[in-house]
Amino acid sequence: MLGDLSAKYESNGNPGLISSGKGDPGGKSYGCYQLSSKMGSLQDFIRWADRHYPWIGTTIRHSTDIDSGWRECARLDRPEFSAAQWAYIKERYYDTAAGSLERAGFHAKKHSYAMRDVIWSRAVQYGTGRIVKMWQEACKSMYNGKDYTGYPNITYVDDKRFDYDLIVAIYKVSKAWIRAESVRNGLEKRFKDECSEALQMLKGER
């Protein structure tokens, strides 16, 4: 299922998970995709749920605190709570990121399932506003490095044969973008493992 790669490395697919927030610039994070309490995605999800899954918003708001409400939602209906998080991330993150990439010339629908899962994962972790920059930097590193002259560029990657090298490059950029030293070791291991899994997924498609 699209989004499984991200969910595995964010939370092992646990919709009720709440991180400690220790050493994380985003603070405590919640659910399958680790919605950030400091960056606003948690609050946005709750508002979104009020419209699409009212019982979730009601349960959280009527609890003594967000943590208790979050865990109660997972207890009451774990599958639907997970489905709600998936639907929110698809709308707010994947669809937005894929749209931004398409306007830049990279059409996700023409690429492998593995590549689409990578788009989902990178959008969740780094946000949708930087996704085009990440893809452009990855394309640049694939070919001419510092001597990059613009060709091949992002519009030349609309073919499955590019996906393997591009996925490798995307995770190299992800590693280069790590800023918080407190989470560097954990993120570097994640990127290595997640990249390998995405590549295995890609190989399985061919």
pLDDT tens-digit map of 34-66: 999 999 999 999 999 999 999 999 999 999 999
Amino acid at 155: T
Residue-wise pLDDT tens digits, 104-144: 999 999 999 999 999 999 999 999 999 999 999 998 888 65
The better pLDDT of the pair 26, 200 is held by 200
Question: Considering 4, 24, 77, 158, which one is annotated as catalytic?
Answer: 24
Range of the domain at 138: 4-204
Average pLDDT, rounded, for the chain: 91
Beta-bridge partner residues of 29: 36
Identify the residue whose tokens are 């280069």.
Answer: 176
Q: What is the mean pLDDT of residues 161-186?
A: 89
The pTM of this model reads: 0.90
Tally of structural domains, the chain: 1
153 in Cβ contact with 139 (< 8 Å): yes
95 is catalytic: no
The yes-or-no verdict on residue 150 having pLDDT over 60 is no
